[in-house]
């Protein structure tokens, strides 16, 4: 680890960082979601999901914690058994159980559409439109919702996500940005899907905030399953990313993006080595990293030293996350008494 001797606990204010440098690129992590809704701090959908012993055994046999991988494997079992002329009843029951456990876990942690206000959506949408490229590793749909809801109120720039081909699918040959803000879901998201023909797409009919309604779009015989990365290690995440044309495109885009970059709410931890490696591609640039200030001075010093070492030749600056619009305490949605 880099020496802590040259570090202090001082964090810049975001407006000072913003005023002195152009920041075309934004990388957003779970800290932004946690500031909106505290339950997003839960570390793992797999740990939260209510899985049967049979389902647990499938996860264990495959050596994964990624629901996408397990749903795909069970779907393929359905196809084989059906082709053999045998009953798929038990296989289908396990598929539906894993699918429902996944969406049950997501529903448990996700804030509802109805709990947002226009001003929250507008603040998030304004941040998105301040940048040329926005990369996010979050699976939730808060930034997507903000972009959709505020489209007629916050109109500085059009925001694209590359799902504009037939059926809201992704086409790697049709990715021209043309001066618009490009949003990249590096680890997928709950509203994205993939199928066994290698297609990636998005659902567009879940804007009522009822995320469980998406579960009905995935049946045992369907060729589609959710596209988001829930693996715990960087290596496993890379394997899932490599199988998806959209996720591969997103990570390649980050690797090829050599502009000054704001990293907000992202720990750049061990499980995201591939993100750090992408940031270190190309010529050195300025990287402004947010740190939540309500820890000890010693922790802040150690965290600054760790991240400085990780980002190698890049010029790293650190700012107080609560001074950035995405870290504004006024964005936080409070639980109602019935939710506590």
Per-residue model confidence as pLDDT tens digits over 166-216: 999 999 999 999 999 999 999 998 889 999 889 999 988 644 445 557 777
CB 107 within 8 A of CB 212: yes
In this predicted structure, the answer to whether residue 264 has a pLDDT above a threshold of 90 is yes
Share of the chain above pLDDT 90, in %: 60
Beta strand spans in the chain (E): 25-28, 133-136, 159-160, 181-185, 188-195, 200-202, 224-228, 261-264, 286-291, 315-320
pLDDT of amino acid 220: 79
CB 177 within 8 A of CB 147: no
pLDDT: which is higher, 308 or 204:
308
DSSP 27-67: EE-HHHHHHH-GGGG---HHHHS---HHHHHHHHHHT---H
Tell me the HSE value of 293 on the side-chain side, using a 13 A CA sphere: 17
CB 25 within 8 A of CB 182: no
pLDDT: which is higher, 59 or 104:
59
Over the stretch 147-160, which tens digit does the pLDDT of each residue have?
988 988 998 899 99
> What average pLDDT does the chain have?
89
User: Coil, strand, or helix at residue 194?
Assistant: strand
Over the stretch 21-62, which tens digit does the pLDDT of each residue have?
999 999 999 999 999 998 888 767 788 888 999 999 999 999
In this predicted structure, the answer to whether residue 13 has a pLDDT above a threshold of 80 is yes
In this predicted structure, the answer to whether residue 312 has a pLDDT above a threshold of 50 is yes
pLDDT of amino acid 211: 57
Q: Comparing C-alpha atoms, which of 227, 211, 213 is closest to residue 161?
A: 227
In this predicted structure, the answer to whether residue 223 has a pLDDT above a threshold of 90 is no
pLDDT: which is higher, 270 or 244:
244
Does the CA dihedral 236-238-243-247 come out positive or negative? positive
pLDDT of amino acid 210: 57
In this predicted structure, the answer to whether residue 4 has a pLDDT above a threshold of 70 is no
pLDDT of amino acid 208: 47
Q: Which residues contact 163 (CB under 8 A, 6 or more apart)?
A: 169, 170, 192, 200, 201, 202
Residue 54, φ and ψ in degrees, nearest 5: -65, -45
- Residue 28 forms beta bridges with which residues? 136, 264
Give the largest Cα separation in the chain, rounded: 69
pLDDT: which is higher, 260 or 72:
260
Give the separation between CA 1 and CA 232, rounded to whole angstroms. Answer: 23
Residue 218 CB coordination number (10 Å): 21
Q: How would residue 252 be classed by pLDDT, with cut points 50, 70 and 90?
A: very high
Between the alpha carbon of residue 117 and those of residues 35, 40, 149, 310, the distances in Å are 15, 18, 10, 38
Share of the chain above pLDDT 70, in %: 94
Over the stretch 289-305, which tens digit does the pLDDT of each residue have?
999 997 789 999 999 99
CB 95 within 8 A of CB 75: yes
CB 68 within 8 A of CB 200: no
pLDDT: which is higher, 160 or 6:
160
């Amino acid at each position: 680890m880099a020496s802590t001797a040259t570090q202090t606990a001082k964090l810049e204010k975001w407006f000072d960082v913003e005023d002195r440098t152009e920041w075309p690129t934004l990388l957003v992590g779970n800290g932004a979601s946690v500031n909106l809704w505290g339950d997003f701090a839960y570390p793992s959908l797999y740990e939260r999901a209510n899985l049967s012993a049979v389902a647990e055994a499938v996860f264990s046999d495959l050596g994964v914690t990624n629901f996408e991988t397990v749903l795909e494997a069970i779907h393929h079992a359905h196809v084989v058994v059906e082709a053999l002329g045998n009953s798929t009843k038990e296989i289908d029951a396990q598929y539906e159980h894993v699918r429902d456990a996944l969406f049950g876990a997501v529903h448990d942690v996700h804030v509802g559409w109805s709990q947002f206000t226009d001003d929250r959506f507008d603040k998030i949408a304004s941040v998105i439109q301040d940048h040329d490229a926005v990369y996010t590793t979050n699976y939730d749909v808060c930034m997507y919702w903000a972009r959709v809801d505020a489209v007629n109120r916050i109109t500085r720039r059009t925001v694209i996500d590359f799902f504009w081909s037939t059926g809201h699918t992704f086409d790697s040959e049709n990715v021209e940005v043309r001066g618009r803000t490009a949003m990249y879901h590096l680890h997928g998201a709950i509203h994205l899907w993939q199928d066994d023909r290698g297609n990636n797409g998005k659902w567009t009919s879940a804007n009522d905030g009822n995320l469980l309604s998406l579960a009905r779009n995935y049946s045992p015989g369907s060729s589609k399953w959710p596209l988001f990365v829930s693996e715990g290690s960087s290596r496993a995440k890379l394997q899932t990313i490599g199988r998806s044309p959209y996720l591969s495109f997103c990570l390649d885009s980050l690797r090829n993006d050599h502009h000054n970059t704001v990293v907000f709410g992202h720990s750049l931890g061990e499980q995201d080595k591939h993100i750090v490696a992408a940031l270190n591609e190309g010529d050195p640039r300025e990287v402004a990293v947010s740190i939540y200030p309500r820890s000890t001075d010693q922790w802040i010093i150690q965290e600054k030293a760790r991240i400085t070492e990780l980002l190698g030749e890049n010029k790293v600056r650190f700012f107080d996350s609560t001074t950035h619009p995405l870290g504004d305490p006024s964005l936080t949605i409070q639980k109602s008494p019935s939710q506590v």
